[in-house]
Structure 1
């Protein structure tokens, strides 16, 4: 089916008690692997890209690649801008027909975060989803990370959601971008944030969280969990292992096909971890 709005993914997941994985793509192999897994499991999903990973191709190529692969797929999927750090990135993603948007002004002071996020809300059509972030998530993706890691303050949540009117709220509750041996959800804090929020929550850093924690997130109003590092590692590992086995390897299609299968396996396992009742 054609790409759907992020609102449709949120609504279906909420109605069915599911958590949508949000899987970052950069290239055709990653996209193919993600969609192969989505078709197997049947859980509504976000495919997303951050501006740092659209630098090579541009948002338009990402849209074309994802929408073409999804044309014959029956599972609802939204194409999401991940970590739009500027209003310019929001504008570019909307111009490329993305169906879901994240504005991330979380490193700014609270009032400035509200101001920038509110402008992004006005820019984003009402029939598309907007994700905003309150609290600064630690760790790094692609060597990019916040200068300051800051947990979400439950006392700020209601005011932020009321002022910005996002459809999803990304929170910092012990989750960390990338891989971290210390990453662990503070479920007490997550429960406080959930109680204060009138919109579903988003947890970034799904690659570094243990399965038993991923499987509990649906209990706390989490509708979307981001996974990026696992996929990238799977692809790099597939090419690295092929080279190590044969430094004279020249069959790019064979190795690319192996990478697609490795990525698909990671995505399927993560979706099932997030949705143990649907596994």
Structure 2
């Protein structure tokens, strides 16, 4: 029996095995993807936003070429109950599994719920019902994002929702809402969150920070603050937490390489660049949109979508007042028309995503070869659940609700402006 077949037999979580009993797609816990990057060192992988089916196909093809363990994800706002994308938290795993079997993809892949936003107590209660349904549908990893709330409420929400997340699942938490250069995260805030979770025997695999990026099209030119990220990751080192980098589209390759080399970031979210590439839009070498004088996207003739379909999509966007980063809201109303194009057009859309992703994985993220490392880790561990990277270090008695609120009151930080900063 090959290493892959052995890993397939023991490495898939029970929910995945139940859904896909005859599958040869190695869908694994996000924990394994994180550990593969740490095992290689100075490596991070793509967490590709699967807003559309053709993007998923292109990313998976690239991962196989690069022998890179990867993550396919969709955010709650994009693929949840009020979705604006056709890929949902309930069909994403089915799409990925089908494509992996079709294309013969053998690298390990995690299915990630990104930005599960918890802004109120009502969101916590809803999550207790909704989150288990994601895992029943094949999700293997989740990001709990209560960063919209004050530090104490963020921590308490993470603690309250954790019993509804499988122990084996990859877990991401977030401090500092993604707002660009305003409301930057601090080591103090990050330590408060991670130490409080640790006291309750909750071990996040990743932490996302506001380290200078924005979701969507990068307009400021500032991008990732590598030094701040390194400082925070160093402070968190005793707890074995890796970094999740949000807002990568538009950051130059040197900055992304620095994040991989100088910090413990192992997960890099990429969304807008993949969408624009598949559509045939003009982008710079970093995947950021090149805009015309009116602030509109520039379509390259003969690339991506047919010219006729793009004209229709653009007219729809103009009618609805959709511009810039909000072009992502064209995914849901136009997915079937996109899939209804000729095979030649669909394949060129997929290929553009594949080539960009392959370059990212092999030349920027240093993720090449992590597929084999991940499989080896599964075989050495002998189970679908590799367990936490850290032990309990904090005293739970010091992290009661009352003491959490008292500690949070002592944190000095700027949360930045109010507003809608969801993915």
Q: Place the TM-score, normalised by the shorter chain, in its bin.
A: 0.7 to 0.9
1:80-229 map, 5 Å? 80-86=112-118, 87=124, 88=127, 90-138=131-179, 149-164=182-197, 165-180=203-218, 181-197=220-236, 198=239, 199-218=241-260, 219-229=262-272
Deviation, structure 1 residue 278:
4.7
More strand by share: 1
Question: Aligned in 2, Cα 1:255/1:161: closer, same or farther, shift over 3 Å?
Answer: same
Q: Aligned residue for 1:258? A: 348
Rounded to whole Å, the distance in 2 between the matches of 1:272 and 1:234 is 18
DSSP 3-state at the match of 2:306: helix
CA deviation string 1:13-37 (max 9, x = no partner): 1111121111000232111111010
Shift >6 Å, 4+ stretches: none
- Which secondary structure state, in structure 2, belongs to the residue aligned with residue 11 of structure 1? helix
Cα RMSD between the aligned structures?
2.5
Alpha-carbon separation, structure 2, partners of 1:41 and 1:192: 31
Which sections of structure 1, spanning at least 5 residues, go unmatched?
Answer: 140-147
Structure 1 residues 122 and 274: alpha-carbon distance in aligned structure 2, compared to 1, 3 A threshold: farther
Give matches, 1:63-74, under 5 Å. 63-71=93-101, 72-74=104-106
Larger RCO (alpha carbons 8 Å, 6+ apart)? 2
Q: Which residue of 2 aligns with 1:274?
A: 364
Alpha-carbon distance in structure 2 between the residues aligned to 1:40 and 1:183? 32
Do the aligned partners of residues 259 and 169 (structure 1) sit closer, same or farther apart at CA in structure 2, a change above 3 Å counting?
A: same
Give distance in 2, aligned partners of 1:278 and 1:27.
24
Unaligned runs of 5+ in 2: 1-24, 119-123, 198-202, 282-297, 312-339, 370-423
Q: CA deviation at 1:149?
A: 4.6
Shift of 1:73: 2.0
SS at match of 2:27: coil
Shift of 1:255: 1.4
Match of 1:230 in 2: 273
**TM-score normalised by the chain length of structure 2:** 0.59
How far did 1:8 drift? 0.7
Alpha-carbon spacing, 1:226–1:134, altered in 2? closer, same or farther (3 Å)? same
For these two proteins, the number of residue pairs brought into alignment is 270
Return the alpha-carbon distance in structure 2 between the equivalents of residues 196 and 244 of structure 1. 51
State the distance in 2 between where 1:150 and 1:34 align: 32
Q: Does structure 1 residue 8 correspond to structure 2 residue 32?
A: yes
CA distance in 1 between partners of 2:234 and 2:87 (Å): 41
Which moves more between the two structures, 127-136 or 58-67? Answer: 58-67
Give TM-score scaled by structure 1 length: 0.88
